[in-house]
């Protein structure tokens, strides 16, 4: 390693202030950036010049800053005190926006020279520059630098430097805001925690424990906030590096990367499955819908997310060529935003309301979806054109939401919140449309004195209220003023006067009451008139920047923005139906009837055109609330279009009557037309009834329930009106809590195959809705691999999947990252649908038989621990922060009252989300691996001899290599095992007062962890965690030393809290550690 400077500041990069305009013009024209060399012709200067490294002068604030070492990441490679760690300055120019980045990345092969920073810093520090401009070098050939020879450490160096740089800023802020004493405490804790982790030093563990016990409540809060914010800043740096690496690949002209539509098309082409007809048919029949949910796993305040968004934007700017003044200004803004973070309350004072959840979700539309989704469509069409298919794809990719419509377990969601959700969604999309139309009016100054226009465009202009003499020859502007006034009227009639800001229709335009658009299709049709006219008169390029994305947005978002699903538990439906039947004199005790009799009563009511509900009778609050939601959904569909609300999810679907009850409730609220089972009655339901199968037993019964439903009289007619399509939702969380990780995944797989067989038999198209959470235990993990690992025939061009809690922020807060995640879903769906059975190996029957054997053993092992071990419930509630999590104000859903009473606590009563959240906090993440080790050990140990054991090992290895389902399962388990930490978890075990119980349970968990790690190593051949994913391994390794102190602090604070300490700062400190650990792990529930 080169020698470090002995103590003085290293020179910061600086760009010459004397670059001439001629030089700038040359650089722009040639794409070659001049470089500045060090004033001294030292070896360091030569290295910097030859590598393309730009040297900047440190700003005065930085040059005179005292040394700081707060939170320097534990990375492989040179470590520097923060006073010496300055950000690398790549000269890759990025506009900072995802769309602009894609535009700029179409470029030449000469770009790679600018793509990579130098391998390492100069061995000798350069002399400080004086105020004179540095002498520029002659332009160099950019193509001479070849990034492919760089090591992984070299490629990741910009990330390490970003992390060090942000850590230094955070250290400066901590010292400035809290003083040297707090800063020193934070740094001492960090160093001790690192020693404890790297050396398994028991003395360090004791020192750390004593240190934490001595902290005052005030110090504790400051320490927790420091480590928590470092985790947030490290996440920002990682996201930035992902974007940087993608841009580098684009500039280098590298082959398309997995997870992109271009890669999927190339793969299909190589396999001979990319004919224009096949691809066209795929997009015509496709439907892909990410569904944002309000599950209570989002632990970050929107204020924090906004500040982080600004930091990410400013960090991206530092990849651009900046002058010394611009660089100083950038750092000042970054410092200000980090200070804003420090001075902003991390926790909410009050529990979130549904209205808060609605606004939080809408912020992602403004930040990402409104721009990036239309851009994704354009990119898909460009990729298709490169493969010879020039076609406009239909609006197959849309957005969904549960926020405002998910009533399962949340009495705060009512007809009023559903109304608020759709109104706020509509307001956001109308504001977007109005803003874009207004800007189009400024841009399309096309004169018919110079170029013609279509008759349809002229008619649109003639219908405009614009009377200005200045625009007589500008038909596009006049037409757009007419479009604007109709849009404004559309918003007004749907949302009320003044709900959406509206500009004047234009100078000379008298106030008019324009005719509202009947629907978004009519609005899109007007935009199409403009597009077609431009295309006919050599103006097609004028539509590309704004008009084309706007037209695509109108097709995708409509006037509703996102389709809101309704969801409620089957037992609530049963209670309401029972009340209606009893009050109507039809059936006194419907709930007590056997299933066959329930179906008889329900079908008779659906065949009778008369309603059960009477306007002269009063009903319970529950019945009025449930029926009120459906009535409001009926009105919303009339107001905003049928796509605004089109699905009804039935939680805990266990019988056929659970589905039919919702049909009856639709009939009672105007959402069901005709009579069921009556010939030629034209029966149709407005909302598709979608069963949600969650537990292991329900998954096993799923196909039987659907078969019986399809066999009911009149259901075939309903399916015909649905286009012979039916959706089924699969729950990952409850099945995991019920049967463990391996069995949950296997039973989901089996249920999907059984449903495919049934639907194929009946000629019905199956669309699966995957209720995936953030953690692997709740179906989380990389979306691309998850979709590709689905059983053969289960994707078929259509998929819906939930995006929950903190996953929404990590995936979509950054527009570039968001667009990449959206494209990944499309690419995976395309591959899974059209790839030639790559996920169906020849030995599939043998693989499935082996999986069944493993699943049975894994479930037995898991249930033996969780449900059959005496005292396990007490162990869980004592050794995890489950009760403290319940107190967090992170969702509108009320906390379970059963948690508050130790005598009535049962694992069965816990919701799956806090169950998984708690295991993550204590760093065991048991829901993502427990049982696998015992299952593999039993399978291998059951072999009669060594030869048979070898055959079984070989079979498991082949399953991993050739079966995507099994490979993805092991990959996710590997990731979870990498995030677990038995040493940290042992400290949580100390919270269990019963020493015998503590020893018994924890030793079982540790033994199973080692069995699982050994089994995984034997199958994959990799003994190191994440050997196949070094990027993720690096990420986890780097953040552990800064995560550990939060865990140690959490244990200490929980001890005090449970011992009766009522200090408010102590309770706040616990909640802050929960927040920080969730950020560090990048997942919660």
Q: Which of 232, 634, 737, 1057 is catalytic?
A: 737
> Nearest CA to 192 among 202, 182, 180?
202
Q: How far is CA 16 from CA 34, 44, 134, 262, in A?
A: 10, 18, 6, 40
What is the spatial distance between Cα 805 and Cα 328, in angstroms, rounded to a whole number? 36
Cβ contacts of 952 within 8 Å, gap of 6 or more: 939, 940, 943
The DSSP output letter for 129 is: P
8 A C-beta contact, residue 108 and residue 143: no
> Nearest CA to 453 among 470, 439, 472, 434?
472
Give, for 248, the enclosing helix (H) or strand (E).
helix 217-251
Phi-psi label, residue 131: left if phi above 0, alpha if psi -120 to 50, beta otherwise: alpha
Is residue 387 part of the annotated active site? The answer reads no
Cβ contacts of 835 within 8 Å, gap of 6 or more: 267, 268, 271, 273
What is the spatial distance between Cα 915 and Cα 920, in angstroms, rounded to a whole number? 9
Give, for 50, the enclosing helix (H) or strand (E).
helix 43-51
What is the spatial distance between Cα 429 and Cα 370, in angstroms, rounded to a whole number? 8
DSSP letter string over 337-351? HHHHHHHS-SS-SSP
Q: Which of 267, 295, 667, 765 is catalytic?
A: 295
What is the spatial distance between Cα 217 and Cα 375, in angstroms, rounded to a whole number? 49
- CB crowding 977-986: b at 16 or more within 10 Å, else e: bbbbbeebbb
Helix 415-443 × helix 354-364 angle, to 10°: 30
Q: How far is CA 563 from CA 143, 421, 558, 947, in A?
A: 49, 10, 10, 57
Cβ contacts of 5 within 8 Å, gap of 6 or more: 84, 125
8 A C-beta contact, residue 767 and residue 725: yes
User: Per DSSP, what are the bridge partners of residue 801?
Assistant: 290, 770
What is the spatial distance between Cα 224 and Cα 1054, in angstroms, rounded to a whole number? 14
What is the spatial distance between Cα 261 and Cα 386, in angstroms, rounded to a whole number? 11
Q: How far is CA 827 from CA 14, 785, 1068, in A?
A: 42, 11, 43
Is residue 458 part of the annotated active site? The answer reads no
Give the dihedral sign, CA 689/723/783/158. Answer: negative
Residues in the chain, how many?
Answer: 1085
What is the spatial distance between Cα 95 and Cα 155, in angstroms, rounded to a whole number? 21
Give, for 1074, the enclosing helix (H) or strand (E).
helix 1064-1081
8 A C-beta contact, residue 789 and residue 795: no
What is the spatial distance between Cα 740 and Cα 757, in angstroms, rounded to a whole number? 26
What is the spatial distance between Cα 877 and Cα 918, in angstroms, rounded to a whole number? 9
What is the spatial distance between Cα 1056 and Cα 896, in angstroms, rounded to a whole number? 24
Name the percent of the chain in helix, strand, coil, to the closest 5: 60, 5, 35
User: N- to C-terminal Cα distance for the chain?
Assistant: 42
Instruction: List, by residue number, the catalytic residues.
Output: 295, 737
């Amino acid at each position: 390693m080169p020698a470090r400077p002995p103590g003085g500041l290293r020179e910061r990069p600086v760009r010459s202030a004397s670059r001439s305009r001629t030089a700038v013009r040359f650089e722009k024209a040639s794409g070659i950036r001049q470089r500045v060399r060090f004033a001294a012709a030292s070896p360091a200067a030569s290295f910097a010049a030859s590598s393309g490294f730009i040297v900047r002068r440190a700003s005065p604030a930085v040059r005179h800053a005292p040394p700081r070492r707060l939170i320097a990441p534990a990375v492989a490679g040179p470590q520097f005190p923060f006073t010496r760690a300055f950000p690398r300055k790549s000269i890759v120019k990025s506009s900072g926006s995802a769309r602009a980045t894609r535009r700029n990345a179409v470029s030449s092969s000469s770009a790679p020279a600018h793509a990579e920073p130098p391998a390492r810093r100069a061995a000798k520090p350069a002399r400080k520059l004086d105020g004179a401009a540095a002498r520029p070098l002659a332009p160099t050939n950019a193509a001479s630098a070849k990034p492919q020879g760089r090591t992984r450490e070299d490629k990741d160096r910009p990330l390490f430097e970003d992390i060090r740089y942000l850590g230094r800023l955070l250290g400066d802020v901590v010292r400035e805001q809290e003083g040297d004493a707090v800063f020193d405490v934070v740094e001492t804790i960090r160093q001790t925690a690192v020693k404890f982790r790297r050396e398994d030093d028991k003395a360090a563990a004791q020192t750390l424990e004593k240190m934490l016990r001595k902290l005052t409540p005030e110090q504790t809060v400051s320490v927790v906030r420091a480590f928590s914010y470092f985790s947030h800043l490290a996440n920002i740096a990682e996201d930035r590096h992902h974007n940087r690496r993608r841009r580098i690949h684009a500039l280098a002209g590298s082959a398309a990367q997995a997870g992109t539509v271009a890669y999927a098309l190339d793969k299909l082409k190589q396999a001979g499955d990319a004919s224009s007809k096949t691809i066209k048919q795929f997009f015509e029949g496709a439907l892909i819908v990410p569904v944002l949910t309000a599950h209570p796993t989002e632990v970050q305040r929107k204020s924090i997310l906004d500040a982080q968004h600004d930091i990410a934007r400013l960090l991206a700017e530092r990849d651009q060529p900046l002058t010394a003044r611009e660089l100083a200004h950038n750092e000042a803004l970054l410092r200000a935003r980090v200070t804003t973070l420090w001075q902003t309350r991390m926790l909410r004072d009050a529990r979130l309301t549904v209205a808060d959840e609605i606004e939080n979700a809408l912020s992602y539309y403004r930040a990402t979806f409104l721009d990036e989704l239309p851009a994704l469509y354009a990119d898909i069409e460009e990729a298709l054109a490169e493969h010879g298919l020039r076609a406009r794809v239909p609006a197959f990719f849309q957005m969904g939401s549960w926020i405002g419509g998910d009533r399962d377990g949340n009495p705060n969601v009512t007809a009023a919140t559903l109304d608020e959700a759709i109104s706020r969604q509509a307001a956001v999309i109308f504001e977007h449309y109005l803003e874009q139309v207004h800007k189009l009016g400024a841009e399309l100054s096309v004169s018919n004195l110079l170029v013609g226009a279509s008759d349809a465009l002229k008619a649109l202009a003639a219908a405009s209220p614009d009377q200005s003499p200045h625009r007589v020859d500008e038909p596009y502007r006049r037409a757009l003023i007419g479009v604007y006034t109709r849009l404004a009227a559309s918003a007004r009639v749907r949302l009320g006067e003044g709900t959406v800001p509206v500009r004047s229709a234009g100078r000379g335009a008298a106030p008019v009451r324009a005719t509202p658009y009947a629907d978004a299709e009519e609005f899109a049709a007007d935009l199409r008139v403009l597009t077609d006219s431009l295309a006919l008169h050599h103006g097609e390029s004028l539509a590309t920047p704004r008009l084309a994305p706007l037209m695509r947005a109108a097709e995708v978002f409509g006037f509703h923005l996102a389709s809101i699903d309704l969801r409620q538990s089957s037992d609530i439906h049963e209670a309401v139906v029972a009340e209606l039947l009893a009050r109507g004199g039809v059936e006194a005790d419907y709930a007590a009837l056997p299933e066959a009799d329930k179906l008889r009563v329900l079908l008779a009511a659906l065949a009778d055109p008369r309603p059960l509900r009477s306007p002269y009778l009063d009903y319970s609050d529950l019945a009025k609330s449930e029926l009120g939601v459906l009535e409001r959904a009926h009105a919303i569909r009339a107001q905003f279009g049928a796509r605004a609300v089109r699905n009804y999810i039935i939680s805990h679907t266990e019988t056929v009557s659970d589905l039919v009850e919702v049909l009856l409730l639709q009939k009672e609220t105007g959402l069901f037309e005709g009579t069921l089972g009556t010939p030629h009655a034209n029966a149709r339901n407005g909302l598709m009834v979608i069963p949600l199968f969650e537990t292991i037993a329900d998954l096993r019964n799923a196909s039987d329930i659907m078969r019986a439903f399809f066999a009911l009289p009149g259901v075939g007619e309903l399916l015909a009106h649905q286009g012979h399509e039916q959706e089924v939702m699969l729950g990952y969380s409850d099945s995991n809590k019920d049967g463990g990780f391996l069995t949950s995944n296997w039973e989901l797989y089996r249920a999907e195959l059984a449903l495919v067989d049934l639907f194929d038999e009946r000629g019905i198209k199956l669309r699966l809705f995957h209720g995936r959470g953030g953690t692997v235990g709740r179906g989380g993990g990389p979306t691309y691999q998850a979709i590709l690992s689905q059983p053969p025939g289960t994707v078929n061009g259509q998929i819906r999947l939930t995006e929950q809690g903190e996953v929404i922020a990590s995936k979509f807060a950054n527009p570039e990252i968001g667009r990449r995640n959206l494209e990944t879903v499309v690419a995976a769906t395309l591959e899974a649908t059209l790839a030639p059975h790559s996920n169906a190996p020849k030995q599939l029957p043998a693989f499935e038989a082996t999986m069944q054997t493993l699943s049975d053993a894994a479930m037995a092992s898991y249930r033996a621990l969780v449900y059959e071990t005496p005292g396990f419930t007490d162990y869980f509630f004592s050794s995890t922060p489950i009760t403290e999590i319940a107190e967090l104000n992170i969702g509108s859903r009320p906390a379970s009252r059963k948690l508050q009473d130790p005598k009535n606590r049962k694992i069965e009563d816990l919701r799956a989300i806090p169950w998984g959240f708690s295991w993550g906090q204590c760093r065991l993440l048991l829901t993502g691996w427990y049982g696998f080790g015992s299952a593999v050990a039993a399978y291998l140990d059951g072999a009669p001899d060594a030869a048979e054991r070898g055959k079984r090992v070989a079979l498991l290895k082949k399953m991993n290599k050739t079966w995507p389902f099994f490979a993805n399962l092991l990959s996710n388990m590997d990731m979870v095992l990498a995030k677990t930490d038995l040493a940290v978890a042992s400290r949580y075990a100390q919270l269990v007062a019963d020493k015998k119980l503590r020893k018994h349970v924890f030793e079982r968990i540790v033994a199973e962890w080692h069995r699982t790690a050994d089994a995984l190593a034997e199958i994959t051949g990799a003994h190191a965690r994440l050997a196949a994913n070094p990027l993720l391994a690096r990420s986890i390794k780097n953040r552990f030393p800064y995560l550990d102190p939060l865990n140690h602090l959490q244990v200490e604070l929980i001890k005090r809290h449970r011992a009766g300490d009522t200090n408010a700062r102590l309770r706040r400190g616990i909640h802050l550690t929960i927040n920080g650990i969730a950020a560090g792990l990048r997942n919660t529930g």
